[in-house]
Amino acid sequence: MKDTKKKEPASLFCVNGDKDKSDSKSKKKAAKSDSDDSEPETKSSKSKSKKKENANPASMFAAGGDKDKDKGKDKDKDKKKKKAKASESDDSDSEAEKGTKKKKGKGKKKKEERPPSPDIEFDSLEEFVLQPAQQGVTVKCKMTRDKRGMDKGLYPTYYLHLDNEKKVFLLSGRKRKKSTTSNYLISIDPTDLSRGGENFIGKLRSNMMGTKFTVFDNALHPDRALPDMSNARQELAAIIYETNVLGIKGPRRLTVIIPGMGKDSERVPIRPRRDNNGLLMKFQNRKMDNLIELHNKTPTWNDDTASHVLNFNGRVTQASIKNFQIIHSKDEAYIVMQFGRVADDAFTLDYSYPMCAVQAFAIALSSFDGKITCE
């Protein structure tokens, strides 16, 4: 990857103290011009990002190991970063001036458009949707809900495409009809959503209350796997919605547990033989070795709109209880994933390293499932 690209604090997701060789080169700047939402949120995010600048991002996604080493080295690197930033800003300013000159003279009406996803090429769709997003790249997608047909009011089909001109199809998902608990099948084919089909890529399973979910890949059930579990299915994520016993109105609160990242930015495989050793139980018992704990970003209250708001930088245009952003507690400025409504049955879903498309899509699917105790 070129040095000029923005790099997120990837090493926050590393396990056993593995750190990215590049060390965090530059913090992401808040996109002022792109944001139509939440002025208070923009201000608060600025102050938070300033506080985080001195922190070593190498420790943010680490599940274990040393977290506070080489602080002195980081200070020296910061001085070099400032010089690099100055030269980069000169180039970006000149490019911005060119862009404004091109815009002038056009008599067409301005259209409010969402910032599109960068062009992403891949040879195998199956491999791409299970691989973590490339470091420094935010994969921007559009998720649509199809409720047409006899039973699609109760069992709609969901589709995920890249949100750009090419609109490349990525995933589809639908809730299974004859399941004790909510169970969503995820496929790499828009029409083949069968459990035994070759396009089956993963599934999302909930508990009886619809408050806890587990995301699996398409490998074998532990009972049918080899003794060493090498071909057993992996747990890719766990999603926990906080119950709202008192019925207090406000935004949902959720926690997401994902496997940590090892060397070469590879996901640590989590293959439990029994459910009592899966991600949900590990989180409950606080056995968080090789695991990363993420949370939704707390919205700020806006007196002008009398509502809770988040800054989605123009990617979300309609209010919904389903709108959320997923962050790591050590760097709230870095958005691991965000999801929000843009039309009645259309949503944007953006994800970044270390999340993959299947994880992000499954987390979004969980938000559609009925949660009486969470509302």
Write the pLDDT tens digit of every residue in 268-280: 999 999 988 999 9
- Does 48 have pLDDT greater than 90? no
Task: Write the CB contacts of 318 (distance below 8 Å, at least 6 apart in sequence).
Answer: 340, 341, 342, 343
pLDDT bracket for residue 195 (50, 70, 90):
confident
**What value does the mean pLDDT take over residues 188-207?**
92
pLDDT band at 16, cuts 50/70/90?
low
The C-alpha atoms of residue 90 and residue 43 are separated, in whole angstroms, by 25
Mean pLDDT of 131-140: 94
Q: What is the rounded CA–CA span in Å between residue 17 and residue 61?
A: 9
Decide: 238 and 256 in contact? Cβ < 8 Å: yes
Here the tokens at position 77 are 């690197």
Is 172 in contact with 160 (CB distance < 8 Å)? yes
Largest CA distance in the chain: 69
Which pLDDT belongs to residue 97?
42
Calpha distance 362→205 (Å, rounded):
9
Q: Which residues contact 65 (CB under 8 A, 6 or more apart)?
A: 15, 16, 17, 18
Confidence class for position 374, pLDDT limits 50, 70, 90:
low
Higher pLDDT, 114 or 370: 114
Lowest model confidence (mean pLDDT) among 25-34, 62-71, 170-179: 25-34
Report yes or no: 9 and 24 within 8 Å, Cβ to Cβ: yes
pLDDT value for 84: 45
3-state secondary structure of 307: strand
Q: Cα dist. 83→38, 60, 73, 240 in Å?
A: 32, 25, 16, 43
Specify the pLDDT at position 128. Answer: 96
Q: Among 118-122, 138-142, 169-173, 282-286, which stretch is predicted with the lowest mean pLDDT?
A: 118-122
Tokens of 192: 């083949």
Q: Give the pLDDT of residue 150.
A: 67
Distance of CA 10 to the CA centre of its chain: 14
Rounded to the nearest 10°, the torsion over CA 106, 108, 114, 116 is -50
- Beta-sheet pairing, 300-302 with 307-309: antiparallel
Q: Supply the DSSP string of 332-355, one letter for each residue.
A: EEEEEEEEEEEETTEEEEEE-TT-
Instruction: Give yes or no for a contact between 55 and 71, defined as CB atoms under 8 angstroms apart.
Output: no
User: What count of other Cβ atoms lies within 10 Å of the Cβ of residue 43?
Assistant: 13
- Check if the beta carbon of residue 224 is closer than 8 Å to that of residue 199: no
Residues 6 or more apart whose Cβ sits within 8 Å of residue 243? 209, 211, 373, 374
For range 14-31, the mean pLDDT? 50
**DSSP E strand stretches across the chain:** 139-146, 157-162, 169-175, 183-187, 200-206, 212-217, 235-241, 254-259, 291-296, 300-302, 307-309, 324-328, 331-343, 346-351
What's the rounded mean pLDDT across residues 309-313? 90
The pTM assigned to this predicted structure is: 0.74
* Residue given tokens 């602080």 in the structure block: 71
What's the pLDDT score for residue 320?
87
Least confident of 11-15, 32-36, 138-142: 32-36
Write phi, then psi, for 96 (nearest 5 degrees).
-65, -40
Query: pLDDT digit string (tens) for 229-270?
Result: 999 999 999 999 998 655 556 678 999 999 999 988 899 999
Residue, of 87 and 265, whose pLDDT is higher: 265
CA distance 21 to 23: 5
Is the predicted pLDDT of residue 132 greater than 90, yes or no? yes
For residue 305, what pLDDT band results from cuts at 50, 70 and 90? confident
